[in-house]
Amino acid sequence: MSGKIILASGSPRRKELLAYIVPEYDVFPADIDESVPVEISPENCAELLAVKKAAYVSEKFPESVVIGCDTVVISDGEILGKPKDPADAERMLKMLSGKVHTVITGVCIFCGDRRESFSCRTEVEFYPITEKEIAEYISTGEPMDKAGAYGIQGKGCVFVKAINGDFFNVVGLPVSMLKRRLDDFLKI
């Protein structure tokens, strides 16, 4: 397999995690329309967006191995994206309080005419959180650029009661699964 590896994401968390398994790579964030057709289920949304991101960057760098990713938080069948404002963050955190939600990261590895995509699913349970805790957390600014309005790797960790699945998937990149899939992809 020739060509360099490119991460189709500007996420600092994904950059840090990819460095665990790929010593050298470039970053080229995919500037795409992230809307999805209505008929796509919330469970398939992340993988579809990962494919779109990888395809977009692969068109610009056809000789490179492009890794596209997208993470969604799902609660009660609703995708919780990045909050629009503090009130939206509050709504999301109240929705997650005391319940189990699902985090799905879709990943696509793209090179030339070859493509492999997959999803990783993790269940996260939150403790019940008070309005005061929610307000204090929102005041830090941390939830404003995070799907589901929390960062498990940051101050949002205090809400997490249990996790079933890959921790790094919740951060935004299923590192161990990606390593295995990428190793197989590069062998061909």
Catalytic site positions: 70
Burial 114-147 (b: 16+ CB within 10 A, else e): ebbbebbbbebebeebeeeebeebbeeebbeebb
Give the bridge partners for 124, in sequence order.
Answer: 101, 163
Residue 62 carries which DSSP code? T
Distance CA 123, CA 73 (A): 10
